[in-house]
């Protein structure tokens, strides 16, 4: 009854008020976004980030009749991760290189497009492709974070920039990939870069002017300088050594939520820099506020409470994964909770007013800790967790039991729909760690990336998790990791795209598959739904790329450089869905001579440290960025020019001048050629 009454409230009362008044996105509209049935005004649909829509025209009974309404070419073959927003009949989406699009939500016709013209050399600082997760709307403006650290305010009607600010120090390898949120007239924006070595923070800018209102650092800086806040002074007591020299990490690169009644802004923080705590804080310590959930005052940035999911992180266990706010009944009491399924594999339920831990249960295979001690709120680590005695294969790995791919919460089923995955990682310390400017500084031995066979994909599943019973209700297994985010609707549906290029609707209660189409390229982003002129639409971005290129090793669809599109579906459209096609890989011709084995071995190391993150482990492309084994003769002749002189920088290939020597580039080339020879041999034996 409890859940049903909440649903009726959401369905009927404010939806009627807000259906067609055509007003701008005001502070009140954002607070009421959960009840505004027809639109999708903020990243997680509402401040509670539930990704639950009260729309039910498309439902379990008729979803089989879904067809194509329209689709739009996103002008990229690289990763698409955005959640589009919809207001006043316009859909706003972002593509690669932080390009912003405004389209007619009914037809897909372009209203405007704004390209921030990012210097392509900046791509070297993108740990996980030049992706963007979407915009924020407020007061006639569209706010977008740019990969190079800018925050821009655009006129929602024309796309003209109204103001732009640089939110980061351009001499440091910061990036922005996350969507801003607007709370009480302030634009909230975080940053990324912990893999390279930066100090994380979240900033609030006045929406009207772009003036900085406040900034909250997530980790302490050099203690010989004044602390920026009392919170930093407390945090510094949990660090040892000279952590600030490596930045410390804690970058809040994705997740925020807001509770207007409690007036608390929730911020999820990232992993430590470098990963291995021994290199960051050699005498131990919890290293606040890494891998934490922070509750801040949105007016001042003052810290009210924190909960650290992974004290002394050594595994890239970020807590930037989505936080969902809900009111649920636990032990006979109605509790106002915050729920998160961070990378570390435990599903947390906290009292969102106080930060009190209510439950923490493993939702995937977890081997770094046996449980979370409810008395202390701390994980009980296993003996092998900190890989003190050599290489340790641990679950989850840095991809997490759940990553940025959005989950959703359905108030009627009471279930949280999590894109979950079980991929282990062989953690191994780097005994020779030296910090390199502008490079990944993990403190993890290169050996784990320097491999000459791509690893097989690990399994994943759509998990329906009951946060009250603290257990799984159902799951749908997949063959590939890194599947898309989820959307739950009052039509009794859960929508999700997959790494192998499908877009699927499930029955929200039972997990039964009700509808499926193939889009031709992997889906990572989360779907949305909206209604215009009495007609309900479902939209999702499909475009493979991102960190998956490294992790999965191979694109699950097999498509190579497939074009990304924004797809929109509606009932009885009569239009078929034609999946996109990838490009033909260039012909694989034999190369004269055999690369020197010693040079190949050396090249494998340098490839692992510098190239694998984009071009794929073992030189096997993830499908979105060039497969180097197929390089044309002109590329093979110009390796030094391309890698060191930036000959292909306009195509998105940054220069590695100052990071690699000419001899090291030659070694990388030798390794890639040896992988090409392997491929030639394999294709010859198949004939
Ligand atoms: Ca990370």
- Sorted by sequence, the CB contacts under 8 Å of residue 459 that are 6+ apart come out as 421, 422, 477, 478, 479, 480, 481
Q: What is the mean pLDDT of residues 215-242?
A: 97
Backbone phi and psi for residue 465, each to the nearest 5 degrees, phi listed first: -110, 130
Whether 313 is catalytic: no
User: What residue ranges do the domains of the chain occupy?
Assistant: 13-323+385-571, 597-686
Sign of CA dihedral 124, 606, 615, 276: negative
pLDDT band with cut points at 50, 70 and 90 for residue 552: low
Q: Which residues does residue 350 pair with via DSSP β-bridges, in sequence order? A: 338, 357
Measure the CA–CA gap between 144 and 137, rounded to whole angstroms.
9
Give pLDDT tens digits for 413-422: 999 999 999 9
pLDDT of 527 above 60: yes
**Both structure tokens of 673:** 């050629």
> Do the domains spanning 13-323+385-571 and 597-686 agree at the CATH topology level?
no
> How many CB atoms lie under 10 A from the CB of residue 181?
26
Cβ proximity of 627 and 616 under 8 Å: yes
Query: Cα of 309 to ligand 1 centre, how many Å?
Result: 15
Query: Cα of 408 to ligand 1 centre, how many Å?
Result: 22
Give pLDDT tens digits for 560-573: 999 999 999 999 99
Measure the CA–CA gap between 483 and 500, rounded to whole angstroms.
8
pLDDT of 7 above 80: no
Q: What is the mean pLDDT of residues 629-639?
A: 94
Q: What is the mean pLDDT of residues 564-591?
A: 93
Query: Cα of 8 to ligand 1 centre, how many Å?
Result: 40
Q: Which residues does residue 328 pair with via DSSP β-bridges, in sequence order? A: 335
If you classify domain 597-686 with CATH, what class do you get? mainly alpha
Measure the CA–CA gap between 136 and 603, rounded to whole angstroms.
44
Measure the CA–CA gap between 487 and 493, rounded to whole angstroms.
8
Q: What is the mean pLDDT of residues 323-348?
A: 97
Among the ranges given (351-355, 478-482, 566-570, 659-663), the one the predictor scored with the smallest mean pLDDT: 478-482
Give pLDDT tens digits for 359-402: 999 999 999 999 999 999 999 999 999 999 999 999 999 999 99
Query: Cα of 316 to ligand 1 centre, how many Å?
Result: 5
CATH number for the domain whose boundaries are 13-323+385-571: 2.140.10.10
Q: What is the mean pLDDT of residues 52-59?
A: 98
Residue % of the chain over a pLDDT of 90 = 85
pLDDT band with cut points at 50, 70 and 90 for residue 249: very high
pLDDT of 3 above 60: no
Query: Which residue among the candidates 316, 430, 627, 666 is catalytic per the annotation?
Result: 316
Report DSSP letters for 528-550, one per residue: EEEEETTEEEEEEEE---TTHHH
């Amino acid at each position: 009854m409890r859940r049903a009454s909440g649903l009726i409230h959401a369905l009927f009362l404010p939806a009627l008020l807000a259906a067609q008044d055509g007003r701008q996105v005001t502070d009140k509209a954002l607070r009421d976004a959960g009840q505004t049935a027809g639109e999708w005004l903020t990243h997680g649909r509402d401040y509670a980030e539930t990704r639950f829509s009260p729309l039910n025209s498309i439902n379990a009974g008729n979803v089989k009749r879904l067809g194509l309404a329209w689709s739009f070419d996103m002008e990229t073959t690289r990763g698409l991760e955005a959640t589009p927003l919809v207001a006043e009949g316009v859909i706003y989406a972002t593509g690669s290189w932080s390009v912003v699009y405004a389209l007619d939500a009914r037809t897909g016709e372009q209203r405007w497009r704004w390209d921030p013209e990012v210097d392509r050399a900046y791509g070297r600082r993108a740990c996980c492709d030049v992706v963007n997760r979407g915009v924020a709307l407020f007061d006639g403006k569209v706010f977008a974070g740019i990969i190079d650290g800018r925050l821009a305010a655009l006129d929602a009607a024309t796309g003209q920039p109204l103001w732009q600010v640089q939110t980061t120090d351009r001499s440091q390898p910061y990036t922005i990939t996350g969507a801003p949120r607007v709370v009480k007239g302030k634009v909230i924006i975080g940053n990324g870069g912990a893999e390279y070595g930066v100090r994380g923070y979240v900033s609030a800018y006045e929406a009207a002017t772009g003036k900085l209102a406040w900034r909250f650092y997530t980790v302490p800086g050099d203690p010989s300088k004044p602390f920026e806040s009392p919170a930093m002074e407390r945090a510094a007591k949990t660090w040892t050594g000279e952590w600030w020299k490596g930045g410390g990490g804690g970058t809040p690169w994705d997740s925020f939520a807001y509770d207007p009644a409690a007036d608390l802004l929730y911020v999820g923080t990232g992993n430590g820099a470098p990963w291995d705590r021994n290199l960051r804080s050699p005498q131990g310590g919890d290293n606040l506020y890494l891998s934490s959930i922070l509750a801040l005052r949105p007016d001042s940035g003052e810290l009210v409470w924190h909960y650290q999911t992974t004290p002394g992180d050594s595994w890239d266990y970020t807590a930037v994964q989505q936080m969902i706010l809900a009111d649920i009944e636990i032990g006979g009491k109605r509790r106002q909770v915050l729920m998160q399924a961070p990378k570390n594999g435990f599903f947390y339920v906290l009292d969102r007013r106080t930060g009190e831990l209510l439950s923490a249960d493993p939702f995937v295979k977890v081997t770094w800790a046996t449980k979370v001690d409810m008395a202390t709120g701390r994980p009980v680590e296993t003996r092998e967790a900190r890989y003190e005695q050599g290489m340790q294969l641990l679950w989850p790995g840095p991809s997490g039991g759940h990553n940025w791919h959005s989950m959703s919460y359905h108030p009627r089923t009471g279930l949280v729909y999590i894109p979950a995955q079980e991929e282990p990682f062989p953690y191994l310390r780097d005994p020779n760690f030296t910090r390199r400017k502008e490079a990944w500084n993990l403190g993890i031995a290169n050996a784990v990336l320097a491999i000459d066979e791509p690893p097989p994909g690990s399994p994943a599943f759509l998990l329906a998790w009951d946060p009250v019973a603290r257990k799984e209700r159902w799951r749908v297994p997949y063959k590939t990791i890194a599947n898309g985010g989820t959307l739950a609707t009052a039509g009794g549906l859960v929508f999700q795209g997959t790494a192998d290029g499908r877009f699927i609707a499930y029955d929200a209660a039972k997990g039964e598959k009700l509808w499926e189409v193939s889009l031709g390229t992997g889906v990572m982003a989360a779907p949305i739904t909206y209604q215009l002129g009495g007609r309900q639409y479902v939209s999702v971005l499909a475009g493979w790329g991102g960190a998956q290129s490294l992790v999965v090793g191979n694109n699950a669809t097999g498509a190579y450089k497939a074009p990304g599109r924004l797809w929109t579906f509606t009932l009885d459209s009569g239009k078929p869905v034609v999946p996109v096609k990838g490009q033909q890989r260039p012909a694989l011709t034999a190369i004269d001579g055999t690369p020197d084995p010693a040079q190949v071995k050396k090249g494998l190391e340098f490839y692992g440290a510098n190239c694998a993150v984009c071009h794929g482990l073992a030189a096997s492309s993830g499908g979105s960025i060039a497969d180097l084994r197929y390089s044309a003769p002109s590329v093979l002749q110009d390796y030094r020019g391309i890698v060191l002189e930036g000959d292909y920088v306009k195509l998105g290939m940054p220069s590695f001048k100052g990071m690699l020597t000419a001899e090291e580039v030659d070694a990388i080339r030798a390794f890639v050629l040896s992988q090409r020879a392997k491929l030639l041999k394999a294709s010859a034996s198949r004939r």
